[in-house]
Amino acid sequence: MQMLYTDFKKTDNQPIHSMKKATLNIENQVYELPVVEGTEKEKGIDISRLRPETGYITLDSGYKSTGSTKSAITFLNGEEGILRYRGYPIEQLAKNSSFLEVAFLLIYGNLPSKEELEKFVSKITRHTLIHEDMKKFYEGYPAKAHPMGVLASMIGALSTFYPESQKSELEPEEVDVTIRRLIAKISTIAAWSYKKSQGFPVMYPQNRLGYCDNFLHMMFAQPTEEYEVNPVISEALNTLLILHADHEQNCSASTVRMAGSSHASLYAAISAGVCALWGPLHGGANQKVIEMLRQIREEGSDVAKMIEKAKDKSSDFRLMGFGHRVYKNFDPRANIIKASTDSVLKELGNNDSLLKIATELEEVALSDDYFIERNLYPNVDFYSGILYRAIGIPTDMFTVMFALGRLPGWIAQWKEMRDNREPISRPRQIYTGENARDYVSIEKR
Ligand code: SDX
């Protein structure tokens, strides 16, 4: 028997490589591979020596059974509907914390002390302006430019205003200032893309306002009149941003890690994450959910018809906001958002007919064998669009809101990957193309 590992020792403070092993029989040669075990007893087989020792690779399209890294940031259990940031249950953070406090927790690993939080918030507040030359970029976008396209390009462009951020190795303070600039400026960039799309003058950030109030002020205030932020709306936004802040190795976080592993700047890696999030199967789903609910209402609120369409394999239509790669039970975020939506609509006296359709759609789907057999439940995107509507966010800005919330998680994932000095990501493949053949001149083809 050949052992595909050096003699891993179970160290006290990092129970990663357990003493358990897996055996693999390849062409009558038995190999032993180390088993790794996380702090929540998740187990994996370390295959890092597989190819050099056996010539074989593994194949797992979409990485459904493949771990790309070890991480201490977010734990989720899809079977039990558990989600924790650095060990804190999402339910407690959504109820008790602020978005910037959660950002600090995700990025630096622990809840900040009072003075740490005050310093973090104060420094972020002072980075909310963007270079006046960047304001001119908005003149170049078409009026109906999708704000995710604007966001991705503006964040990438930030790296050109801070060329020192492009160094392959950054000092800790250079990393911290880049982190603060990104968290501060993304809300200004997002709000200004909305103002520009409406032909309105942009509103500058106000240092007297907190993060959520500042964003709402930049989005909805007009220079011609006083604007008071509604505390119910601000609190709902704080909850939404916290719920979206991280979600372990999802498509966009993995994209940020992949892009960052080449030592591209953090701005470039985040811009790549924005692009990955944009897809309708990922963060773009919240916009698609509202479009789907509107379509149901316009076609006479026939929920059963939409359910049948989602089950029909001949169409590539899916029930947007339903299903999840990891959650095979309820998505804890969907439950919190649904509760928050109910209370916010009541407090605002807003009776959104789409909420009634969404609730009916959930009830019918969850009693249908097709959805039950496939463990398809509402995910974070199913109700979030209704809450964004209630606080006045336009539909094509929903995924931008997802990006605003997810930014600290992307940053935390990038920082962990760089702090752990992980190698450049470069997966292998199984080639299925033509075997070697000789060039044929065009006359003979
Ligand atoms: C997010 O990964 C994360 O953590 C993501 C996220 C985060 O916080 O970062 O949680 C945010 O992206 C939430 C997901 C938002 N996307 C949507 O709501 C789009 C609709 N949902 C799906 O397209 C789908 O459920 C995925 C993409 C979310 C998950 O797809 P998987 O894990 O690849 O599952 P699958 O495509 O293999 O589906 C398994 C079966 C298939 O049917 P069969 O081939 O077995 O017959 O379930 C069916 C699918 O057709 N199915 C659906 C469905 N989702 C899956 N059928 C109808 N409607 C759906 N929504």
- Residue 212 CA from chain centroid, whole number: 19
Give the strand pairing for 2-3 and 29-37.
parallel
Going from the N-terminus, what domains does the chain have, and what CATH number goes with each? 16-67 (2.20.28.60), 88-282+396-416 (1.10.580.10), 285-391 (1.10.230.10)
Among residues 369, 381, 396, 438, the one annotated as catalytic is 381
CA dihedral 229, 230, 231, 237 (to 10 degrees): -80
Taking the C-alpha atoms of residue 11 and residue 28, their distance in angstroms, rounded to an integer, is 33
303 backbone dihedrals φ, ψ, rounded to 5°: -65, -40
Q: Could you tell me whether strands 29-37 and 43-45 are parallel, antiparallel, or unpaired per DSSP bridges?
A: antiparallel
Helix, strand or coil, per DSSP, at residue 243: helix
CA distance 301 to 343: 24
Each residue's pLDDT expressed in tens, for the chain with a length of 445 residues: 666 654 444 444 445 666 789 999 999 999 999 999 999 999 999 999 999 999 999 999 999 999 999 999 999 999 999 999 999 999 999 999 999 999 999 999 999 999 999 999 999 999 999 999 999 999 999 988 999 999 999 999 999 999 988 888 889 999 999 999 999 999 999 999 999 999 999 999 999 999 999 999 999 999 999 999 999 999 999 999 999 999 999 999 999 999 999 999 999 999 999 999 999 999 999 999 999 999 999 988 889 998 999 999 998 889 999 999 999 888 999 999 999 998 899 999 988 889 899 999 999 999 999 999 999 999 999 999 999 999 999 999 999 999 999 999 999 999 999 999 999 999 999 999 999 999 999 999 9
Best mutation site among 322, 333, 361, 398 for ligand 1 pocket (most ligand atoms within 8 Å of CB)? 322
**Catalytic pick from 244, 246, 324, 331?**
324
What pLDDT shows up at residue 316? 84
CA of 321 to the centre of ligand 1 (A): 8
Tell me, in angstroms, the distance from the centre of ligand 1 to residue 325's CA: 6
127 is catalytic: no
| Nearest Cα residue to 410 out of 295, 287, 275, 313 | 275
Nearest C-alpha neighbor of 383 from the set 372, 371, 398: 398
Residue 159 is encoded by which pair of tokens? 């790296």
**Is there an atom of ligand 1 within 6 Å of 385 CB?**
no
Residue given tokens 């890696």 in the structure block = 269
Identity of residue 331 = D
Question: Is-contact 384 286, C-beta < 8 A?
Answer: yes
Q: Which atom of ligand 1 is nearest to the CA of 322?
A: 60
Supply the pLDDT for residue 301: 84
Helical segments of 44-171, H only? 50-54, 90-96, 99-108, 114-125, 132-135, 137-140, 147-161
Q: How far apart are CA 148 and CA 279, in angstroms?
A: 10
- DSSP secondary structure letter of residue 264: -
Cβ burial of 48 (10 Å; 0-12, 13-18, 19+) is exposed
Residue 281 Cα to ligand 1 midpoint, Å, equals 7
What confidence score (pLDDT) does residue 351 get? 84
